[in-house]
Chains A and B, each alone.
Chain A
Amino acid sequence: MKRNILIIVFAIIITMGLVFASCVSSKVTDKSGSQLWAQNCMRCHNSPPSSAFTNTQWNIISSHMRQRAMLTETESKKILEFLQTGD
């Protein structure tokens, strides 16, 4: 069936993508908080500037977004640090 072929092609593309991407060196751990903020916080909605909330508010929001966006712990920590010191 056409659909099965489509799914298989999709799966191959993804696997290849994963393999190629793993060869690139910039892992989450190498990235700065601001870089992770720029790359992740705009994926679902416009990214908020660090001035939008206080540090205590960012602490709560960071847990909310870690849960919602299934961010890794490292990403979430680095982004929170950036947002709390950003202004």
Chain B
Amino acid sequence: MKPKLIIILFAIGGLINSPQIYAQQYNQELIDSLIKNSTQTQVAKASKFLISGFTTFNGKFSNNQSTFSDVGFTPILLWKPHEKILVEVEMETAIMGNATNIELGYADASFFVNKYLTIRAGKFLAPFGIFQDRLHPSWINKLPTVPLANGEDELAFGPVSEIGFDFRGGAQIGASKINYSFFVSNNAALITDPAIPSKQGTLSYGNVDVQSKKLSYGGRVGLLPIENSSLEIGFSYRYGNVGDTSYNYKSVKAAMYAVDFSYINPIDIIKGTLDIKAQWNKANIDNASYLDPGDPTGSTWYTFDNKRTSFFSQAAYRPTMSQSKFLKKTELVFRYAGFNPPTGAKDLQEIRQYTYGINYWFNWRTAFKAAYQSEKNNNAIFIQIAVGF
């Protein structure tokens, strides 16, 4: 329920505000003394607020469809009220049909407790794999589309965001590094509605109205074994109940797994930077009975072995060491993604997706991207202008 979300946000705001009020009283004295000393510029430096974010404009062209779609504006507010506290809020606004949709992407406060521990509270991007957590903003994603079943499209099944607490940090072990992020969060909710058969047995995340006895938990551990940090391998896990306590589905549980891989390095012999990213996901959801969408009387039930996997692997090359200013800003990208549905699920089939892209980077976070994407009976050209600000 929305009101609960607002209460949580207020509570977080309250937590952060109390030292702020204190600081304001204290600041008043400081300000007076500063004015006396006519060094007012110091005051402006003490207020730490930043508006960041990105805008996206997409076009899709295929044999039977040409459209400019997905106009999005995503402001991010960053506020640092204290040396050890950071608040981040992302508002996703997008045009859907002819209406404007606003969604709270994330809203959380981070407390930098010590060298090795940062605690986040609120709604945060799920530390599960790398796509959602690190690569989804359009100015970061190297292709105009999201990898099949890895992002937020209709086949996706991994967590996008969580509501709860997250404990994260990094450390060095010799010349290697390790990082971790463990969370407790609200349960995901099992989707059972026969209106969208392909969604039956999948999960929705980041809910404030899920009522259950126990919370979900999970996290990711990342290893950077090579001294120059060029390689990272991550392992993620998430476990919890997915049914409502008041429901038939209360004992249904879901376990999710992901393995991710990142390698990025400027390489002399190829005169450029090679960037490889990959992620593999698996969801094992307990078997449950769903209303058969094919039966108009709504009295037939069916079940299936609810195990599904998806993956993407992507390679990008940018001739960063080239003499030509134009080539330096050009990037070639290839991505291979796939989805393996549970056997017996309705309206789902195995899919393989190939995407070939070319980008031109106007600066470090403004790009024009074009790509050809091929799926069985579903080939299209996509363009995108992504601007980070």
Contact = CB atoms under 8 A, between A and B. Distances in A.
Given A45-B140, A67-B110, A70-B181, A14 B233 contact: yes
B175 A39 contact: no
B92 interface: no
Given A26-B175, A68-B133, A70-B118, 11 more contacts: A18-B225, A21-B175, A21-B226, A23-B175, A24-B175, A26-B227, A46-B365, A49-B364, A67-B118, A70-B169, A70-B179
Given A27-B172, A49-B364, A59 B120 contact: no
Contacts of B273: 42
Contacts of A40: 229
Interface of B: 45, 48-50, 78-80, 86, 88, 110, 112, 115, 118, 120, 133-135, 139-140, 168-177, 179-181, 222-223, 225-233, 259, 262, 264, 273, 361, 364-365
Contact of A18 (B169, B180, B223): B223
B264 A42 contact: yes
B174 A17 contact: no
Given A26-B175, A28-B177, A70 B134 contact: no
Given A56-B48, A70-B180, A70-B222, A45 B175 contact: no
A72 B115 contact: yes
Contact of A70 (B86, B168, B176): B168
Nearest to A46: B364
Contacts of B49: 60
Interface residues of A, number: 41
Interface string A68-86: 1111111100000000000
A27 to B, nearest CB: 5
Could you tell me the dominant secondary structure of chain A's interface residues? helix
B169 A64 contact: no
21 contacts: A17-B226, A20-B225, A22-B175, A23-B174, A27-B174, A28-B172, A28-B177, A42-B264, A42-B273, A44-B134, A44-B135, A45-B364, A47-B364, A60-B49, A60-B78, A60-B86, A66-B112, A67-B118, A69-B179, A70-B180, A72-B177
Could you tell me the dominant secondary structure of chain B's interface residues? strand
B23 to A, nearest CB: 16
A34 interface: no
B227 A56 contact: no
A42 B134 CA distance: 12
A30 to B, nearest CB: 9
A8 interface: no
Contacts of B226: 17, 21
Contacts of A59: 48, 80
A4 interface: no
Contact of A72 (B134, B172, B230): B172
A9 interface: no
B115 A43 contact: no
A21 B227 CA distance: 6
B262 A43 contact: yes
Contacts of B88: 64, 67
Contacts of A75: 170
A67 B120 contact: yes
A39 B364 contact: no
B180 to A, nearest CB: 7
Given A14-B223, A70-B180, A27 B112 contact: no
Given A40-B229, A63-B80, A17 B140 contact: no
For the complex of A and B, the 6 pairs showing the least CB-CB separation, nearest first, are A22-B174, A17-B225, A70-B179, A70-B170, A46-B364, A63-B86
A54 B181 CA distance: 30
B176 A21 contact: yes
